[in-house]
């Protein structure tokens, strides 16, 4: 099916029915997330996939009382790192070496560039890291639609509570955004079948020739 058809099919699913998404579909969505672009290629976040129903219920009770949290199949949390350590950079450069085996001079220069970037952006570092997860989120929404899997980005939750429940600060992570994956329940999903609310392209796009 074509991309625009799939994007018109998807919507922010407000009510899910508890059915399981087949693992191969979840795997393809996760693979797509792994292919999302990130600033400097650093992928400075984790994607936590929660299948455990008791944990979903705890998150619903204590951090986010939105129905898809408990009625989804897989609950994804995009969790940005709160800092980039030199160990993290070591691992990143090991990975680059394994994949591309670049000239060591290039690696040295690139690392200096990254360190300089981090220093310059130190005051906004957390906000820069958090922005990265929204790109992955977008890719995940498109990939889910491509699998005819429903999803809904959820930003409306108590971040401190979720940090505590998942013990994120001890791993230098924070809760960025949630994405339940599952299947719509037409009786509970009031968004189902609603026309899309989008601007005319002429009001969104400005072409400069």
* Site for ligand FMN, rule CB under 6 A: 11-12, 14, 66, 152-156, 177, 191, 196
- Cα–Cα distance for residue pair 109/105, rounded to 1 Å: 6
Instruction: Please state the closest distance from residue 169 (CB atom) to ligand FMN, in A.
Output: 22
Token couple for 59: 């998150």
Instruction: Please state the closest distance from residue 186 (CB atom) to ligand FMN, in A.
Output: 15
Contact 40, 84 (CB under 8 A): no
Enclosing H/E stretch for 140: helix 125-146
- Cα–Cα distance for residue pair 68/24, rounded to 1 Å: 21
Q: Which is nearer to ligand FMN, 55 or 191 (CB)?
A: 191
Q: DSSP states of 167-188 as a string? A: T-GGGTB---EEEEEE-B-TTT
Q: Which is nearer to ligand FMN, 26 or 133 (CB)?
A: 133
Q: Which is nearer to ligand FMN, 124 or 194 (CB)?
A: 194
Instruction: Please state the closest distance from residue 13 (CB atom) to ligand FMN, in A.
Output: 8
Q: Which is nearer to ligand FMN, 14 or 56 (CB)?
A: 14
Instruction: Please state the closest distance from residue 100 (CB atom) to ligand FMN, in A.
Output: 33
């Amino acid at each position: 099916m074509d991309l625009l058809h799939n994007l018109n099919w998807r919507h922010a699913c407000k009510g899910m029915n508890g059915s399981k998404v087949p693992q191969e579909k979840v795997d393809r969505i996760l693979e797509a997330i792994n292919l999302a672009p990130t600033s400097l290629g650093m992928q400075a976040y984790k994607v936590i996939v929660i299948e455990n129903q008791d944990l979903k219920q705890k998150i619903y009770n204590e951090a986010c009382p939105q129905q898809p949290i408990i009625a989804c199949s897989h609950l994804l949390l995009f969790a940005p790192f709160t800092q980039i350590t030199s160990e993290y950079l070591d691992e990143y450069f090991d990975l680059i070496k394994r994949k591309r085996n670049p000239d060591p001079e290039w690696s040295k220069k690139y690392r200096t560039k990254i360190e300089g970037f981090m220093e310059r952006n130190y005051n906004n570092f957390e906000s820069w890291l958090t922005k990265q997860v929204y790109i992955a989120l977008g890719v995940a929404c498109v990939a889910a639609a491509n699998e005819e899997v429903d999803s809904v980005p959820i930003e409306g939750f108590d971040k401190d509570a979720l940090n505590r429940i998942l013990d994120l600060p001890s791993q230098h992570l924070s809760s960025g955004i949630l994405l339940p994956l599952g299947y719509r329940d037409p009786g509970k999903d009031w968004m189902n079948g609603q026309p899309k609310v989008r601007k005319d392209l002429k009001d969104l796009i400005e072409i400069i020739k």
